[in-house]
Amino acid sequence: MAGSRARAGRENGPCKFCGIAAGIETSFRVFADDLAVAFLDYRPLAIGHVLLVPVAHYATLADVPDEVMGGLGVRVKRLSGAVMRAMQAEGSFIALNNVISQSVPHVHFHIVPRRKGDGLFSAGFIWKRVSYASDAERGAVAERIRAALAQVD
């Protein structure tokens, strides 16, 4: 049954996140194992914004088996600490859109570094996106997060 769930949602063509998990699509990875892959968000809410996706394709939260959710939760916890350390952030924001506002129909967690007064939740609740200056900056940020992840237990 999990196999059929893992294939669900790809009828409309290749999934960008499946391509990233397979190493076919370009990304700035910060973590990968048999269950999940984490990489820098292409349109971040803050520099250091990471997405964590399961390697298997699950279109919605209801599709994800409980054992996979448990494993993703542990990885979110570790990545949150690494992102905070690497970006010298005071906290983090963890989010998962389910169907609505899910720009890629593949379950994914957002891990966003936070600082007091950063304006992420401003009046009108409009997400302000930021940009990296270059791929070199993206690479440097990804390396900082990977190094911090090695220190998080």
* pLDDT band with cut points at 50, 70 and 90 for residue 131: confident
- In DSSP terms, 112 is beta-bridged to 93
Is 124 or 43 the better-scoring residue by pLDDT? Answer: 43
Q: Domain range for residue 122?
A: 2-151
* CATH code (residue 144): 3.30.428.10
Query: For residues 64 and 54, is the Cβ–Cβ distance under 8 A?
Result: yes
pLDDT in tens, 105-121: 999 999 999 999 888 87
Residue 129, pLDDT score: 77
| Structural domain count of the chain | 1
CA distances (Å), origin 116, targets 23, 33, 92: 36, 33, 11
pLDDT in tens, 15-64: 999 999 999 999 999 999 999 999 999 999 999 999 999 999 999 999 99
